[in-house]
Amino acid sequence: MAKEKKVEQITDMEVDFAQWFTDVCKKAQLIDYSSIKGMFVYRPYGYAIWENIQNIMDKEFKKVGVENVYMPMLIPESLLQKEKDHVEGFAPECAWVTMGGSEKLEERYCIRPTSETLFCEHFAQVIQSHRDLPMKYNQWCSVLRWEKTSRPFLRHREFLWQEGHTMHATAQEAKAFTEQMLNVYADFCENVLAMPVTRGQKTDKEKFNGAEATYTIECMMHDRKALQAGTSHYFGDGFAKAFDITFTDQNNQRVNPHQTSWGVSTRLIGGIIMTHGDNNGLVLPPKVAPIQVVVLPIAQHKAGVLEAASGLKERLVNAGFRVKLDDSDNSMGWKCAEYEMKGVPLRVECGPRDLENGQCVLVRRNDGEKTAVKLEQLEQAVQEQLELVHQGMFAKAKKNLDEHIYEAHSLEEAKDLQEKNGGFVKTMWCGSLECELKMKEVAGMSSRCIPFDQEKLDDKCPCCGKPASKMIYWGVAY
């Protein structure tokens, strides 16, 4: 099963990966275009994936002491300008509100591209003592960046995300928390989304404007391009100084706290699509799939079939699964193709012959594997199969990642490997911006990250030949 293509409306990914991606987004009814470039309608099936991501991730945040808040959508220009690097980075893509009703505003307001400045303004108000720290806030919201080009889920002008902002008494604690949140993201990607990640640090060129250090999780898509799936930043006390945020420490000294911020966005959904999807459409990780199990009655007009299917659905709902029963009069073939296109992880088939035998058939979306199960063991079997779907998806994605990390010792070799294979090319690196720019110019790759798991490949930088102690991953990114 699932050997040949069933849904001809979807372009094969081998033919045109970008078109395949767009087709999946539209045909699976995740998203629709609006009349404004880069602003998309999240349809119920697409938004439900985000809701599931939110629900699970929000629990993880709360486990590490994070509280949710909500900040205003508008940032006065004067506030945005308080931190120099920050405003320089975001100014080119800010959208501005200049009118209130028919009145021109005294000061224009930026529609938040990110909310560091608003959080800082607030932190300055509410932080007095070391007893107020750490302060760990997060908000779920949308932000707006006037991007020149846009693609569903990968680059929107308005996109949904969460942004966490925390304040700590010491640099050490803030740094540790920055890494902790990166690990929360990494574990989420792997355990919930079945997306293997590479954890590491961004170069100065690629780091967040205003940050001292940016950490990242990088994923590899099916076309072997890199996707930055989440970032966590250590700010030091730069913003605290710019915004005059201080607290009184145990020694009665007035000092600046140390800060972090971290975020993931609906880009994760783009990652899910491009990591797991195939030529029949979406393949959704069971933990975030809006429909985890679809029950399909076969020959449903025959006595007892629909009732039996309906009963199976009830049992699965009661067991806590997200279930849909499709009792429409579309043909079996149509239904199979439909739910494959929509990436439903598990299908339960139940027809007259199954019922005679006191069984139903479970079919996995990711590999098409069919398993007949006794009706009385349904709940347990579904649980097991969903787990197998997750494991199968992760293993396949992990293989794709591991098999496409190549090692290079010269600029030319890096270029050849990228052109031939795509994926990540790992080399040593001297740490200079010049060499980073040269790699981009010669091999068309940007630095993805300096992985936490370091290897010594060589003694020298492949770009300049100078001594190099760091290993770095390069790649073509979304």
Partner RNA sequence: CGGGGCAUGGCGAAGCUUGGUAUCGCGCUUGGUUCGGGUCCAAGAGGCCGGGGGUUCGAAUCCCCCUGCUCCGACCA
Q: How far is the CB of 326 from RNA (least distance, A)?
A: 11
Residues 27, 281: Cα–Cα separation, whole Å: 8
What x/- string results for residues 33 through 72 when contact with RNA is judged by CB under 7 A? x-xxxx----------------------------------
Q: Contact with RNA (CB under 7 A): which of 100, 304, 368, 467?
A: 368
What the block records as the tokens of 135 is 């302060």
Q: How far is the CB of 426 from RNA (least distance, A)?
A: 20
Sheet holding 323-325, edge to edge: 323-325, 293-297, 346-350, 359-364, 370-374
311 is an interface residue for RNA by CB under 7 A: no
- Cβ proximity to RNA, 46 vs 127, nearer residue: 46
Residues 382, 227: Cα–Cα separation, whole Å: 32
Number of residues that bind RNA (CB under 7 A): 68
Q: Contact with RNA (CB under 7 A): which of 98, 251, 331, 358?
A: 331
139 is an interface residue for RNA by CB under 7 A: no
354 is an interface residue for RNA by CB under 7 A: yes
Q: Is the dihedral of CA 157, 162, 168, 172 positive or negative?
A: negative
Q: How far is the CB of 70 from RNA (least distance, A)?
A: 17
Separation of CA 475 from chain center: 18
340 is an interface residue for RNA by CB under 7 A: yes
Please check whether residue 140 is in contact with residue 54, taking contact to mean a CB–CB distance below 8 angstroms.
Answer: yes
338 is an interface residue for RNA by CB under 7 A: yes
84 is an interface residue for RNA by CB under 7 A: no
115 is an interface residue for RNA by CB under 7 A: no
What x/- string results for residues 393 through 412 when contact with RNA is judged by CB under 7 A? --------------------
What the block records as the tokens of 385 is 């199969």
18 is an interface residue for RNA by CB under 7 A: yes
Grouping H, G, I as helix, E, B as strand and the rest as coil, residue 53 is: helix
265 is an interface residue for RNA by CB under 7 A: yes
Q: Contact with RNA (CB under 7 A): which of 134, 271, 290, 351?
A: 351
What are the DSSP calls for 307-354, one per residue?
Answer: HHHHHHHHHHHHTT--EEE--SSS-HHHHHHHHHHTT-SEEEEE-HHH
- CB burial of 448-474 (b: ≥16 within 10 Å; e: otherwise) equals bbbbeeeeeeeebbbbeeeebebbbbb
Residues 407, 409: Cα–Cα separation, whole Å: 7
Q: Is the dihedral of CA 217, 224, 464, 460 positive or negative?
A: positive
Segments in 197-319 forming alpha helices (H): 238-242, 267-276, 305-318
114 is an interface residue for RNA by CB under 7 A: yes
State the residues that interact with RNA by CB under 7 A: 1-2, 6-9, 18-19, 21-22, 33, 35-38, 89-90, 92-93, 114, 145, 147-152, 155, 161, 202, 206-209, 214, 228, 230-231, 263-265, 280, 298-301, 329-334, 336-338, 340-341, 349, 351-354, 361, 363, 368, 444, 446, 477
